[in-house]
Amino acid sequence: MFCKNIKIINKDGIHCRPSSIIMQKVQEYPDCLFIIESSKGEIDLSSILGLISLGLECGDSVSIKVEGPEEEKVCEEIADIFSTNFGFKS
């Protein structure tokens, strides 16, 4: 399992639109297991509702864990998405 720590920079946190973008990328890798861990809890990233339920806000730190083929590359791709502002002005 590969793990990367990142900080949420989107001023509105991870709400519906960012969650949808993240889930689209996750679905590209059906052979991987994704775990998101924060001070607010830990989820298996197989459900958009699970991700939204974490209530991740700007400034929150999360650990992204990926297990599966090319886990380091896949983890980096997911982490890059989490650490963007999703096209919103900051």
* Domains within the chain, CATH numbers bracketed: 2-82 (3.30.1340.10)
Which listed residue (4, 15, 25, 40) is catalytic? Answer: 15
Provide the mean pLDDT of the chain: 92
The whole-number average pLDDT for the span 49-72 is 96
Global pTM value: 0.88
Q: In this structure, how many other beta carbons lie within 10 angstroms of the beta carbon of residue 55?
A: 13
Q: Return the pLDDT at 85.
A: 78
Check pLDDT > 80 for residue 13.
yes
Residues pairing with 65 in the sheet: 3, 35
For residues 70 and 88, what is the distance between their CA atoms, to the nearest angstrom? 30
Q: Is 10 part of the annotated catalytic residue set? A: no
